[in-house]
Structures are given as structure tokens and as C-alpha cells.
Amino acid sequence: MQETSKKNLRRIKKELNINENKEVKIIGVTKNRTFEEIEKVLNKGLTDLGENRVQELLRKTEMFPTGVGWHFIGHLQRNKVKYVVRMPQLAMIHSVDSLRLAKKISQEAKRAKRVIPVLLQVNIAREEQKYGFLAQDLNRNLPELDELENIKIKGLMTMAPFVKDPEETRPFFADLRKLVEKIKEKNWQRIKMEELSMGMSQDYLVALEEGATIIRLGRILFSDEGGI
Ligand SMILES: *Cc1c(COP(=O)(O)O)cnc(C)c1O
């Protein structure tokens, strides 16, 4: 990494109260943000951005065509997979929430002659309104997921329940980390469990304490007071 971007990253971490020695990827979630707002956080040195809708992802990557790694973090419909996997700036899909979707991504990636880094989304608190594998279903699906050649499964992602006190999210983040450890015990051919994408504006400090390697921040980066 270049000296300036290292320095920028240290400054961003400081403003977010994150220990500067902590290895963590910070993703700026750009949903509902304007060109100017996004430009501002990029000027601060952020290198990774995330979107939860395909249409917006395509629109915003056109606004910022180079120098940014784009992450897809929302529910992905199978008929839209082909647009996402063909994006040159795509860094990772965080929200693979079913075996059918994983298969579709691998199939379209093969057509595009790519291998796409992905995370498996887990509905760790078993909330009815949320997408994601339930822990026990995930275990059952892992052998088939391990066979998919054109995706590279790199870890797990979750969204904690929305609660008043971020401390209440701790057990869910801890559960996700335990799940990662359990999956690692088996010798998978392709599946890796290196990344834990968990933590948003209200709970990222708790998520980091519980082992997050990627945090996805919207409001706190872009807040009305000018953000970080
Ligand atoms: C919107 C969103 C975020 C960021 O949420 P904030 O509370 O604004 O930090 C993170 N992850 C996902 C999947 C999102 O949809």
C-alpha cells in the first residue's frame, strides 16, 4: 500500500475510534448518497464502496469508474446476476444467501471467464424479515457450495438485529465467528473462511471486538454533520 493511503486509512480509523493497528477493511455504503457526498469520502482515502441495489451499483460505478473496489451487499435476484459479475470494478459479493444464488453466480461467472470472490450471508438471529442461510442449513449446503468453480467463498457476512444498545448485538457476532471456526475445521477444497463482514454504523465497534475483518459503514461516514 502506498504511504499516503496508509496515512489516510490511519486517519479514518482514528476518527472512527478504531485502533490504527487493527487490520480491517472499511466499506463506505453509498445507498441514497449523492455524487458529491461519495466524492468527499473518497477524497478522505476510502478505497472500497458498497451498494445494495443492482441498478444503483451500475449507475454509481459509472460515476466512479476507476480506483474503487465495489462490493454488492444487498439481496441479489438471480436474473440480475449477469450484470453484476460482468462489472470490472466488482470486488466482492457479500450477500450470497442461498445455494441457488451461489450456483447462478458461478454459472454466470464462468460465462464471463471470471472467478468472483463472495461471502455467504447468514441470518444469524433467525429474523423472519432477513435474507441469509440459517446456520444449520448452511452446514448442509457446504459440500455443494464447495464444488462451485467460479466463485471463491472467502467467509461469512451478517446483519445483526436492530437494537437500541449495540452491546446486545455481541452474542450474534460471536455466534458468526464460532460458525466460521466450525466451518474451518473441515478440509474444504475451495471454501476459505478468512473474512467476517459484520458491523454497521451503530455496532461496528462491537463487531470488531468479536473479530470482524470487514465493516460496512453508511450513516457514520456520511452523517449530516459532515461525517468523519
Ligand atoms: C445500509 C447498509 C449498511 C450500512 O448501514 P449504516 O447503518 O448506514 O451504517 C451496511 N450493510 C448493509 C447490508 C446495508 O444495507
Instruction: Return the domain boundaries, the chain.
Output: 2-222
Report which protein residue has its CA nearest ligand 1's atom 7.
Answer: 201
Tell me how far apart the alpha carbons of residues 87 and 61 are, in angstroms, rounded to a whole number. Answer: 9
Mean pLDDT by 10 residues, the chain (228 residues): 80 94 95 95 94 97 93 98 97 98 98 98 96 95 98 98 95 98 96 98 97 97 67
Ligand 1 pocket test, candidate residues 200, 203, 224, most atoms within 8 A of CB: 200
For ligand 1, what atom is nearest to the CA of residue 221? 9
Please give the pLDDT value at position 224: 57
CATH class entry, domain 2-222: alpha beta
Three-class secondary structure assignment of 76-125: CCHHHHHHHHCCCCEEEEEEECCHHHHHHHHHHHHHCCCCEEEEEEECCC
What contacts 227, CB < 8 A, 6 or more positions away? Answer: 40, 41, 220, 221
Tell me how far apart the alpha carbons of residues 94 and 72 are, in angstroms, rounded to a whole number. Answer: 6
pTM, full prediction: 0.96
Name every protein residue with a CB atom under 6 angstroms from any ligand 1 atom: 29, 31, 52, 73-74, 159, 200-202, 216-220
